[in-house]
Chain A
Amino acid sequence: MARGKLAAISVATASVLGTVLVRRRRRMHQTRVDLYFGDGSMLSLPDDAPETAAILPAAHAILAAAT
């Protein structure tokens, strides 16, 4: 009985950990633009947004100059 509980907890923990790691890894490989405004709000633009396309060239130029 106790062994069954332990196994269930282990599976649940591993599942949560795996989800966190996968999300973190996916996030690392995504391009996004986060804009923060004076009123405290924030807008995250995905990589396929037209605004992102206008902003990305400057960011790439900065990253290229920084290496």
Chain B
Amino acid sequence: MDPAEALTDLKQISTQVERAVVVRNDGSLEASTLRDAAAAERIARGATDLWDAAEAARASLGRPALSQLEVATPGGSVFAVRDDARMVCAVTAGDPTVGLIFYDLKTCLRNIAEEPAEAVADVPPEPVAAEPATPAGEEEPDGQG
């Protein structure tokens, strides 16, 4: 699924998600729910910094690989979920339903990772049987006598 389409679905499913971005693991912004492109870029940069800081904390604590995180503040919460290719980062108001948000973000990532329908159908079309040729001298009836 297209990342922008997946974010549209996310916003429809999860009313608690106020803003969300999809960031590739190289740090480039792939899609966002924001109209302000500069703000979306700032969130994408912040999401990459957030993940890097969390990854550093994980390493210093000797924990296994990081899969998702939440930062809760009185002003709102930030969620991030990452797979092998990209991360989806979402902002919610205070006191969100944590399990539900993570579930919706993982669904969003899974939808993007799914192979697009066009790619699956990217096989040569089967030949279509040609209509039988009209015998020479005969005309197609056109209904006008």
Chain A positions within 8 Å of B, measured between CB atoms, are: 24, 27-39, 41, 43, 45, 51, 54-63, 65-66
Q: List 25 A-B contacts (CB under 8 A).
A: A28-B94, A28-B95, A29-B74, A30-B72, A31-B71, A31-B73, A33-B70, A34-B71, A34-B98, A36-B66, A36-B67, A36-B68, A37-B63, A37-B65, A55-B57, A58-B50, A58-B53, A60-B73, A61-B42, A61-B46, A61-B49, A62-B43, A62-B46, A62-B50, A65-B43
Q: Which of B18, B45, B74 contacts A31 (CB 8 A)?
A: B74
Given known A-B contacts A28-B74, A61-B49, A54 and B63 have beta carbons under 8 A apart: no
Taken together as a complex, chains A and B put the C-alpha atoms of A59 and B49 apart, in Å, by 9
Residues of A within 8 A of B47 (CB): 58, 62
Q: How many residues of B contact A (CB 8 A)?
A: 39
Which 9 residue pairs are nearest across A and B when measured between Cβ atoms? A51-B57, A58-B50, A65-B42, A59-B71, A62-B46, A58-B49, A38-B65, A61-B46, A66-B91
Taken together as a complex, chains A and B put the C-alpha atoms of A34 and B99 apart, in Å, by 12
Q: Which of A29, A38, A66 contacts B66 (CB 8 A)?
A: A38
Q: Which of B45, B63, B75 contacts A43 (CB 8 A)?
A: B63
Let me know if B49 and A63 touch, CB within 8 A.
no
Taken together as a complex, chains A and B put the C-alpha atoms of A63 and B76 apart, in Å, by 7
Given known A-B contacts A34-B72, A38-B65, A63 and B58 have beta carbons under 8 A apart: no
Residues of B within 8 A of A51 (CB): 57, 60-61
Residues of A within 8 A of B85 (CB): none
Look across to chain A and name the residue whose beta carbon is closest to the beta carbon of B47: A62
Let me know if B66 and A35 touch, CB within 8 A.
yes
Residues of A within 8 A of B53 (CB): 54-55, 57-58
**B54 within 8 Å of A by Cβ?**
yes
Residues of A within 8 A of B19 (CB): 66
